[in-house]
Structures are given as structure tokens and as C-alpha cells.
């Protein structure tokens, strides 16, 4: 942390005012009032209050953290001052609302909001209390800064989980209804008849369990990991295999537990994950900024539609089965990837982005056009797209598609990981880093870029084909620019070029909006805020691309290559002759 500039009271007030402005915004967009009855802990604190006072907490934490002087008094003073400044902004709002009726301009400046801000008291005592609460919240935040690191982590994690638990109660209950003991525990934690939110006892227990677990893991975790590292390689491998098996099993039983609605959410996440994995090859590996990625998704979806539809509304309808159509759909997408790739090979960076953007729109407009209406159905799209069958069973439920999509994602991730660490992957990354130099290293740009486009298109086509079958129809208006943007956001938020990043990014970007349903009409507002925060806090992505160790872990590489240890002498002999 930079310590050259003394953090004075003046700075604390300034920070507090910024926080106050944030709280003001949250109040005036109506979130405070809308969530006033939505309790985090029943009867104690509502989501509205959490939202209102979170900015005091943040500014208090920030001000205390930035204060450089040694004494704790100075930190508490700065934090409280920042909180007071934040409160003063809200107090100003209260005074304004008392004297002028703001509602004609600001719809949400309602009497109900006023009552929340003044805690139901008269103006003067209300304002005083508002200021005091803000200052106290900020001072509490300062306490967090003063705590030793381990205790701070413990308390913050506990608080965070309690708030998250209260916030996501509906989803939690829905998600874990399939696990009877957990469901019972949850029912107890949330058990206040007719009210939302955790019960006081439930919140206390949740906090104690989470904070206690965190405290315990803080020194057990590293010790545990240390012991794992000391194990012989064979056992380490077993442990790794075991944990993978555990992940696999929980992924397999997941849809049975979470029910139809959340399985459907998982399907959406999976379809975007497939898109992200494909786009990651084009953008993350090869550095080719493609803004028209939806085109390949659309081509895959329409190929599946045309080949399998039984509606009788389009001219050419061979009525294939899903499994017959799937490889054709992927092949058509690959072909489209190459066809698009050839003309845009010479363009770079921003220009490439614009050209691909155009391509995405062309595909959508073609699908919508009267010209192709006999074949693609125009604005009516294609309905009655075949569902996949396994044996005699038709897959039609979200749970069924979950497995199909998951297999797709596993294959896609496998391909991406293998390719990344290969001659082709390295040439992609060379092109990404410096196209001219890559070419001077003997990399043929045409082939390399076309391969990236084709692989990316294949995965997008797969994603589109599954999507069309899952929904049972495909329309031109499903192929919006937003899909390209979302896929790109998944890659960027996850971490460019990182396969685990795409998985996390898809969960965050396609899953989060569903979880945020709690925020009702403020969903996109919060989603945007979360995105901005993520990019500010982790610009390199949630799971940045890891640098592989290749030189010093040679035993690992050779370990993977056991069958050809005989090849070693060959290469050393070659080395001897040349050096």
C-alpha cells in the first residue's frame, strides 16, 4: 500500500461523501424501499437496510485502511468521519424530502422511504439516529481493519455468508430440497412463520459454523495441503483422481437434487459454457477478436432445425434424427468458420471485430429474410425440432439435457486443454502475442487462424444445435448480438485464454442473473454493478490463465509420457551431436 500521502480528515470526508452518493442512488432507484420487508434476519435487519448501510461500511473500511498513522484512534476517527459524511448525504435527502415533494421528479422519494431513513421517528431524532447509525457502521468496519488478519477473515466470511444466505434463501431452499437433512436444517434456519429471512437463532448458528470453519481451516488448510505434498507421487495422484471422481459424481447427481427449474438454469449455463469454451479458443488463445460469434451458434441451430424438423413448413426437411443431424450441424458450422475466416484473415484487431460483427448480423438477417423463407421459415423460424433419443427414451426434460450439455462441455474443455498445450495451441498464442514475429517463426498465418476459427465455430455449432433441440424451435430473433457479447464477457470475466476461467465465467455470467432474481426489477442493475466490480477488482479475470511449468517439472512431463521413456536416449543423442 502506498503510504506517501497522509490520509487526513478531509480525505475521509470526501470518501464518505462518495459513499453517501452511492447510498443516495440506491435509495432513489427504489431498492431500499422495495426490499424493506425482505428480511435477511427476520425482524432484525432487512435487505433494504443492508443495501442502505453497506456504503457506510465500505467507506469506513476504506478510510480506516488508508489511514497511515499508527494509533488506532486516528483510524476510528477517520472511519467514523467518513460514515458521518455518508450519513450526512442521506440526512440531506431527508431534509429535502421534508420540505419539498420530490415525487413528481423522483418517483421513489416516497413517504415510505422517508420513514425507513428516519427509522419511523420524527425528523430531528430520525436524522440524528441516521447519522449515528452510519458512523457506528463505519466504525465497526474500522474495527475489522484493526482486527488481526485471521480474525478479520473469520468475521468477514461469517458476515458475508449470513448476508448471502439471507439474500439467496429462495434459491437455497429450492436447490437443496432434494437433500433431506440439509433441507431440514434450512427449514429450521429460515423458520419464522410467514416471514422472509433467517431466524435469529438460524443466523447465529450459520455465522458460528461458517466463522468457526473458516478459523479452523486457516491453519488446518495449509497444513493439510503441506501433508498432501509430502505424499508419494502415486498417492498424490490417487488423491487427485479421488477429488475428480467426487466432482464427477456430484455433477452427475446434481440435477436430481436441484429440481427442474434450477436444472433449466444449469442448461443455460452449460450452453453458454460451450460457447465460451469455443470463443476462448478464438479470442483467448489466438487473439482474434470475434464479435459475431453468434453466427456459428445460429448456423448450428438452424442446421439442426432444418435437418430434423417434422413441422412440414419448410421445403427441404430430411427429418433426420438428432444424432444424425448433430455431426452435420457441427460440420456445417466448421465450414462456415472457414468461409468467414478466409476473407477476414488479413484484418486485425478492431477491424476484425467489426467484420465479424457484420457477419453475425448477416446470418441473422438471412434467417429472417423472405428470400430464404421457404428454407429457414423467415420470422416464424423452424418449429418441431427433434429431441435426442437414447435407446427408446426421448430426452426432453431439462434434467436430461443437463447430461447431454455436460458431456458436450466436458468434451469441449478436453479439446481446449489438449489443443492449448500443443503445437497448434502454441502457434495460436504466438499469433496472439505478435502476429509478425509468429509468422517469422515459420507459422503459416492462414492455416493457423483458420484452424482457430473452425474449432471455435465447431463448438458454437454444437452449442446451437443442442440449444435448438432443447427449446424445440429456432427463430431469427434468438440470434441476437447479446449472445456474442455474453460469450465474450464470459471469456473476459473468466480470464482470457483460461479454460477453468470460462467455466467460472459461465457460472458467474449465465448463472448469476438467475440467482439475482431475488432483486426482481433491479436484476440487471445489480448485474451491471457486479460486472463493473469484478473487472475493477480482478481485471485479469476470475481464474487467470496459469503459466505452465515445463522446465523444472520435467519429471511430471516425463511421468505423463511413461510409455516412451525409451525415446529419451534418442533426444539426448540428438542433443549431443548438435552441441
Partner 1 sequence: MSILTAHQVTKRFGGLTAVSQLDLNIPERSICSVIGPNGAGKTTFFNCITGFYRPEEGQITFDGHSLVGLSPDRITRLGIARTYQNIRLFANLTAIENILVGLHPHLKSGMVGSIFHTPRNRREEAEAHAEARRLLRFVGLTGKGDLLARNLPYGDQRRLEIARALASKPKLLLLDEPTAGMNPRETADMTAFIRRLRDELDITILLIEHQMRVVMGISEQVSVLDYGEKIAEGTPVQIQNNPQVIEAYLGRGSASA
Which residues contact partner 1 (rule: CB under 8 A)?
414-415, 418-419, 422-427, 429-430, 433-434, 436-445, 451, 455, 547-552, 554, 557-558, 561, 563-564, 567-568, 570-572, 574-575, 578-579
Longest dimension (CA), the chain: 92
**Does residue 27 contact residue 97 with C-beta atoms inside 8 Å?**
no
Minimum gap (Å) between residue 455 Cβ and partner 1: 8
Residue 331 phi/psi, 5-degree rounding, is -65, -40
> What nine digits make up the cell of 523?
436484476
191 or 561, CB closer to partner 1? 561
**Does residue 23 contact residue 60 with C-beta atoms inside 8 Å?**
no
Contacts of residue 264, Cβ cutoff 8 Å, sequence gap at least 6: 398
Residue 179 phi/psi, 5-degree rounding, is -105, 95
Q: How far is residue 207's CA from residue 154's CA, in Å, rounded to a whole number?
A: 10
180 or 569, CB closer to partner 1? 569
> Which residue from 281, 324, 340, 263 is spatially nearest to 459, judged by alpha carbons?
281
> Which residue from 159, 64, 34 is spatially nearest to 519, judged by alpha carbons?
34
Q: How far is residue 116's CA from residue 12's CA, in Å, rounded to a whole number?
A: 26
> What nine digits make up the cell of 545?
490463465
Instruction: Return contacts of 201-208, CB within 8 angstroms, 24+ apart.
Output: 203/40, 203/41, 203/44, 203/162, 203/165, 203/166, 206/161, 206/162, 206/165, 207/158, 207/159, 207/161, 207/162, 208/158
Residue 485: CA atoms inside 13 Å, Cβ hemisphere, count?
A: 4
Cα pseudo-dihedral 316, 320, 322, 324, rounded to 10: -110
Q: How far is residue 303's CA from residue 327's CA, in Å, rounded to a whole number?
A: 10
Q: How far is residue 450's CA from residue 405's CA, in Å, rounded to a whole number?
A: 26
409 or 510, CB closer to partner 1? 409
210 or 419, CB closer to partner 1? 419
280 or 309, CB closer to partner 1? 280
Cα pseudo-dihedral 563, 566, 572, 578, rounded to 10: -100
101 or 421, CB closer to partner 1? 421
Minimum gap (Å) between residue 254 Cβ and partner 1: 27
Minimum gap (Å) between residue 459 Cβ and partner 1: 13
219 or 554, CB closer to partner 1? 554
Minimum gap (Å) between residue 417 Cβ and partner 1: 10
- Cα separation values, 476 from 235, 379, 456, Å: 53, 6, 21
Minimum gap (Å) between residue 415 Cβ and partner 1: 6
Minimum gap (Å) between residue 23 Cβ and partner 1: 41
119 or 414, CB closer to partner 1? 414
247 or 567, CB closer to partner 1? 567
Minimum gap (Å) between residue 281 Cβ and partner 1: 12
Q: How far is residue 255's CA from residue 398's CA, in Å, rounded to a whole number?
A: 8
Strand partners, 373: none
CA 253 to the chain's CA centroid: 22
98 or 434, CB closer to partner 1? 434
381 or 430, CB closer to partner 1? 430
258 or 431, CB closer to partner 1? 431
Minimum gap (Å) between residue 240 Cβ and partner 1: 18
Minimum gap (Å) between residue 345 Cβ and partner 1: 12
Cα–Cα–Cα angle for 154, 71, 54, nearest 5°? 45
Minimum gap (Å) between residue 438 Cβ and partner 1: 7
Minimum gap (Å) between residue 347 Cβ and partner 1: 17
Minimum gap (Å) between residue 245 Cβ and partner 1: 21
170 or 433, CB closer to partner 1? 433
Q: How far is residue 371's CA from residue 373's CA, in Å, rounded to a whole number?
A: 6
Minimum gap (Å) between residue 544 Cβ and partner 1: 11
Q: Per-residue DSSP letters for 419-447? A: HHTSHHHHHHHHHHH-HHHHHHTT--HHH
**Does residue 377 contact residue 314 with C-beta atoms inside 8 Å?**
yes
363 or 451, CB closer to partner 1? 451
Cα pseudo-dihedral 124, 126, 129, 130, rounded to 10: -110
Minimum gap (Å) between residue 557 Cβ and partner 1: 6
Amino acid at each position: 500500500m502506498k503510504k506517501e500521502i497522509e490520509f487526513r480528515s478531509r480525505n475521509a470526508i470526501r470518501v464518505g461523501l462518495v459513499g453517501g452518493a452511492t447510498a443516495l442512488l440506491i435509495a432513489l432507484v427504489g431498492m431500499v424501499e422495495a426490499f424493506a420487508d425482505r428480511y435477511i434476519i427476520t425482524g432484525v435487519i432487512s435487505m433494504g437496510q443492508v443495501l442502505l448501510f453497506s456504503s457506510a461500511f465500505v467507506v469506513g473500511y476504506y478510510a480506516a485502511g488508508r489511514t497511515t498513522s499508527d494509533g488506532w484512534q486516528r483510524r476510528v476517527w477517520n472511519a467514523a468521519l467518513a460514515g458521518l459524511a455518508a450519513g450526512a448525504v442521506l440526512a440531506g435527502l431527508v431534509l429535502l424530502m421534508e420540505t419539498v415533494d420530490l415525487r413528481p421528479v423522483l418517483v421513489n422519494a416516497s413517504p415510505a422511504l422517508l420513514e425507513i431513513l428516519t427509522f419511523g421517528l420524527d425528523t430531528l431524532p430520525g436524522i440524528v439516529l441516521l447519522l449515528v447509525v452510519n458512523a457506528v457502521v463505519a466504525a465497526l468496519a474500522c474495527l475489522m481493519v484493526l482486527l488481526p488478519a485471521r480474525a478479520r477473515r473469520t468475521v468477514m466470511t461469517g458476515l458475508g455468508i449470513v448476508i448471502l444466505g439471507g439474500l439467496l434463501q429462495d434459491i437455497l431452499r429450492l436447490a437443496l430440497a432434494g437433500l433431506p437433512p440439509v433441507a431440514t436444517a434450512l427449514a429450521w434456519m429460515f423458520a419464522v412463520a410467514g416471514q422472509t429471512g433467517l431466524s435469529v437463532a438460524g443466523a447465529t448458528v450459520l455465522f458460528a459454523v461458517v466463522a468457526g470453519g473458516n478459523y479452523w481451516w486457516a491453519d488446518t488448510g495449509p497444513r493439510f495441503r503441506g501433508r498432501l505434498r509430502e505424499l508419494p507421487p502415486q498417492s498424490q495422484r490417487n488423491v487427485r483422481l479421488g477429488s475428480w471422481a467426487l466432482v464427477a459424481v456430484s455433477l452427475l447427481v446434481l440435477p436430481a437434487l436441484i429440481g427442474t427449474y434450477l436444472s433449466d438454469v444449469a442448461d443455460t449455463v452449460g450452453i453458454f459454457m460451450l460457447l465460451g469454451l469455443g470463443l476462448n479458443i478464438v479470442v483467448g488463445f489466438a487473439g482474434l477478436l470475434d464479435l459475431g460469434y453468434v453466427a456459428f451458434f445460429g448456423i448450428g441451430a438452424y442446421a439442426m432445425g432444418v435437418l430434423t424438423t417434422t413441422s412440414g413448413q419448410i421445403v427441404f426437411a430430411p427429418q433426420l434424427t438428432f444424432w444424425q443431424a448433430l455431426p452435420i450441424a457441427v460440420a456445417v458450422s466448421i465450414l462456415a468458420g472457414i468461409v468467414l475466416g478466409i476473407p477476414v484473415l488479413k484484418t486485425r484487431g478492431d477491424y476484425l471485430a467489426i467484420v465479424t460483427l457484420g457477419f453475425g448480423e448477416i446470418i441473422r438477417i438471412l434467417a429472417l429474410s423472405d428470400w430464404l423463407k421457404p428454407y429457414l421459415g423467415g420470422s416464424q423460424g423452424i418449429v418441431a425440432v427433434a429431441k435426442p433419443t437414447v435407446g427408446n427414451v426421448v430426452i426432453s426434460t431439462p434434467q436430461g439435457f443437463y447430461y447431454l450439455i455436460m458431456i458436450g462441455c466436458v468434451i469441449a474443455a478436453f479439446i481446449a486443454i489438449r489443443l492449448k498445450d500443443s503445437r497448434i495451441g502454441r502457434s495460436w498464442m504466438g499469433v496472439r502475442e505478435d502476429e509478425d514475429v509468429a509468422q517469422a517463426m515459420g507459422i503459416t498465418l492462414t492455416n493457423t487462424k483458420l484452424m482457430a476459427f473452425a474449432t471455435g465455430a465447431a463448438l458454437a455449432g454444437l452449442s446451437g444445435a443442442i440449444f435448438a433441440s432443447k427449446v424445440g424451435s429456432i427463430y431469427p430473433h434468438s440470434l441476437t448480438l447479446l449472445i456474442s457479447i455474453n460469450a465474450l464477457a464470459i471469456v473476459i470475466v473468466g480470464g482470457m485464454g483460461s479454460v477453468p476461467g470460462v467455466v467460472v465465467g459461465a457460472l458467474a455470467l449465465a448463472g448469476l442473473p438467475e440467482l439475482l432474481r431475488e432483486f426482481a426489477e433491479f436484476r440487471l442493475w445489480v448485474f451491471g454493478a457486479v460486472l463493473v466490480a469484478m473487472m475493477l477488482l480482478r481485471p485479469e479475470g476470475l481464474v487467470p490463465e496459469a503459466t505452465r511449468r515445463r522446465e523444472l517439472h520435467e519429471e511430471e512431463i516425463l511421468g505423463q509420457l511413461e510409455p516412451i521413456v525409451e525415446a529419451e536416449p534418442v533426444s539426448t543423442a540428438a542433443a549431443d551431436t548438435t552441441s
